[in-house]
A and B are shown apart, each in its own frame.
Chain A
Amino acid sequence: MLRFLIRRLSSAFVILILISAFTFLIFFAAPRDPAVLACGKNCTEAAKDIIRDNLGLNDPIAQQYWEFMRGIVMGRDFSVGRCDAPCLGVSFNTDLMVWDTIVDRLPLTLSLSLGGLVIFLTLGLGAGLMAAAKKGTVTDKTLSSMSLVFSSMQIYFLGPIVLGALVFSSGIMESPRYVPITEDPLGWFTGLLIPWFVMALIFTAQYTRMSRSSMIEQLQEEHVRTARAKGMSRPYVFFRYAWRGSLIPIVTILGMDLGALLGGAIVTEMTFSLAGIGRLAVDAVTNIDLPLTMGVMLIGATFILMCNVVVDAAYAYIDPRVRLG
């Protein structure tokens, strides 16, 4: 297990370095002078010079990248002040440290995605199991067609409908907002309830479909039939034998979804006007704030890679045939 973790983590680390180099190259070296990009419309020659100087753009690209990477490990000094150890640079627009801005927005994105995850995993797996157990009945057909419709919905369509129904026309609930859980747990919960459920409805549908088909497949397996034939009870076989096997494809998708969500639930955050990482990314891009964009990308990639490692470790836990090492 330990050897597996070390190996996977180090290969993830290599990919992360590659991604950082790749994005750095795209943003800072590719098409034109990044200073012009950063400066946008109505740019003066003097403003460009300041930006070039601030970014160290007059240095060769390899040196710039080296400085950037060294900054992550050792920190850097900028004209606006000292940037401490995990230093991802300084934002063009706000002059704030990129790392601090991201850390500031992280709790919201964490709460949003993990809370949503708990809901959609419970609902999705539950509904999928139920549909698979009662395959061909009315329950199965209702659940399957519901999940088909919801999986085809988009958050930017469903979100406003739910908001309109629950908040603006009836006033049953308040507009979604984020309060840190440490300050007011109840407010944290009620504030994020609507985004969680809207997000969960759409994701649930996917998981219902997948868990159903994977479960049906498993129930037709020989070892499941053998277990039933030798007289084991139906629920025992259902959960101990079939369910466990059906989890493999679900864990795969779950890892991908979670990684993507942690790097910013962009549409959800936009729809409900919540200021998380996703919102930060969109703002950074529309303001052509290269250091901030770069920082968000790296954080997003880190989450995805970490989730991949966790998923691979989870395979071994679920399926004893999978060997680690």
Chain B
Amino acid sequence: MTSPPQAATAGNDTTTAGESASLTEEKTDTTQGTTAGRSPGQLMWMRFKRDRTGVIAGCVVIFFFAIAALAPVVGWIYGKDPYTFYGLEDMSLLDPFGYPTGSPGGVSGDHWFGVEPDLGRDVMMQLLYGMRTSLYTAVPVTIVSVILGVLLGLVGGFFGGKTDYWIGRVTDFFMALPSQLFLISTMPVVVALFVAPDKETPVYVRFLAMLIILSFLGWMGMARLVRSATLSLREREFVEAAKVSGASRWRILRKELLPNLYTPILVQGTLMLPMAILSVAFLSYVGIGYTEPTPDWGRMFQRAGEIYQDNPVYMLFPGIAMVIFIVSFNLLGDSVRDAIDPKAGR
């Protein structure tokens, strides 16, 4: 378990630990290269900057988030949107069988990633907006599951006894659920909570349903991690000191324990986000998550699966984009871990 080295210096640990959390803090000047007088956060940032793979992976991840968030802007410059049937407006784009004409997949100066067979939508716009949908779903899912996990882990670990026992049993129970099966089978039930079955399901309801189910099933790993970290921190001197000086339980949780848990939480969180993206993609792939006409990453694979025999190019762009994204995220996660805990040699 990674525990920040300052944890032992009892009294003033809250301020330094608070700083260790802000990974993104950029006020460090590493020109001198000395380690004396720097907070753990600054040291971490220094180590991270030296790791070239990590920096590149981080840039790729930021790039993906940026183009996904800025999809409308890109679309405005590029002059297309993900919903228009370009193939119907311009008959030369698709042949009589509905397949793109010209170069494989219909890749051209007008449609950089080609056009979709049959409907003739622009693949690049579909992909950008699809990534946007996926990320906009996966980020809230990750945040909610992190909060749930941290809360339950912290409470279980700190209070111990019966509370801990029952939280532990609930965690075990959720871990024994077949998660993929549970995901797909509860989706219609949760959707039915919001919409009558004979009505069309709006997109935000699908989003809400996914948010509820995915975070419901996503917190257990985090809870176990936080619990075990809390158990070891609970007995440390600075917590004892806080107790003796009369701090309330709530204050100890918030000001003494939580700041020391930021590192494991951050590391686990970077692992959870790609998992959430893949879960959203999985739901859409099996046809239960987002459906037509919402552009979605996973739904593109579903469509690609239907047509790849005749038009493999359609699958190529979303597939390669996803591999690059997940690889970068994994590399970034590894680098963050190394930066936080340099002794854990891989």
Cβ of A281 < 8 Å from any Cβ of B? yes
On whether the beta carbons of B180 and A160 are closer than 8 Å, the reply is: no
Q: Does B63 contact A (CB under 8 A)?
A: no
Closest Cβ–Cβ distance, residue B337 to chain A (whole Å): 11
Residues of chain A at the chain B interface (Cβ within 8 Å): 15, 18-19, 22-23, 26-27, 30-32, 36-37, 39-43, 148-149, 151-154, 156-157, 160-161, 163-164, 168, 213, 216, 259-260, 263-264, 266-267, 270-271, 278, 281-282, 284-286, 288, 293, 296-297, 300-301, 303-305, 308
CA distance A303 to B180 in the complex (A): 14
Residue contact B326 to A152, C-beta cutoff 8 Å: yes
* Chain A residues whose CB sits within 8 angstroms of the CB of B177 once the complex forms: 19, 301, 304
**Chain A residue at smallest Cβ distance from B287:** A286
A270 is contacted by which of B178, B196, B197, B285 (Cβ under 8 Å)?
A: B285
Can you list 30 pairs linking A and B with CB atoms under 8 Å apart?
A19-B176, A26-B186, A26-B189, A27-B189, A30-B189, A32-B193, A32-B196, A32-B197, A152-B322, A156-B301, A161-B319, A163-B308, A164-B309, A216-B345, A216-B346, A260-B178, A263-B178, A264-B180, A266-B180, A266-B184, A270-B286, A271-B305, A281-B185, A285-B184, A285-B187, A286-B287, A300-B181, A301-B176, A301-B177, A303-B178
Chain A contacts of B155 at CB under 8 A? none
Rounded to whole angstroms, the CA-CA distance of A163 and B302 in the bound complex is 15
CB contacts under 8 Å to A, within B307-334, are 308-309, 312, 315, 319, 322-323, 326-327, 330-331
**Nearest-CB distance from A303 to chain B (Å)?**
8
CB-defined contacts of A151 to chain B, threshold 8 Å? 330
Q: Is the CB of A37 within 8 A of B181?
A: no
Other A-B contacts than A40-B197, A157-B315, 11 sampled, CB-CB below 8 A, are A19-B177, A27-B189, A31-B193, A36-B197, A148-B330, A157-B322, A216-B345, A259-B178, A267-B282, A271-B305, A282-B287
Minimum CB distance partner of A305 in chain B: B176
- Interface status of B67 (Cβ within 8 A of chain A): no
State the CA gap A41–B197 with chains docked (Å): 6
Which residue from chain B places its CB closest to the CB of A293 in the assembled complex?
B185
- Nearest opposing residue in chain B for A42, CB measure: B198
* B-to-A contact residues, CB < 8 Å: 172-173, 176-182, 184-190, 192-193, 196-198, 278, 281-282, 285-288, 301-302, 304-305, 308-309, 312, 315, 319, 322-323, 326-327, 330-331, 345-346
Using A160-B304, A267-B282, A285-B188 as known contacts, say yes or no to A260 and B176 having CB atoms under 8 A apart. Answer: no
Question: Does A153 lie within 8 Å of B323, measured CB to CB?
Answer: yes
Whether the Cβ atoms of A156 and B189 lie closer than 8 Å is: no
Question: Which of B187, B196, B281 contacts A154, CB < 8 Å?
Answer: B281
* A282–B184 CB distance below 8 A: yes
**In chain B, what residue has the closest Cβ to A40?**
B197
Main secondary structure, interface of A, reads helix
Chain A residue at smallest Cβ distance from B197: A36
The closest CB in chain B to the CB of A284 belongs to B185
Q: A31 CA to B176 CA in the complex, in Å?
A: 24
Smallest Cβ-Cβ distance to B192: which chain A residue: A31
Q: Which residues of A contact B188 (CB under 8 A)?
A: 37, 285, 288
Chain A residues, CB < 8 A from B312: 160-161, 164
Within the complex, the shortest CB–CB distance from A59 to chain B, in Å, comes to 20
Q: How far does the alpha carbon of A27 sit from the alpha carbon of B178 in the complex, in Å?
A: 16
Report how far A297 CA is from B177 CA in the complex, Å.
Answer: 8
Nearest-neighbour CB distance to chain B for A321, whole angstroms, equals 19
Asked if A152 and B330 sit within 8 Å, CB to CB, the answer is yes
Given A15-B173, A26-B189, A286-B287, the answer on whether A300 and B330 have CB atoms closer than 8 Å is no
Complex A-B, nearest 4 residue pairs according to Cβ-Cβ distance, in ascending order: A300-B178, A152-B326, A157-B319, A31-B193
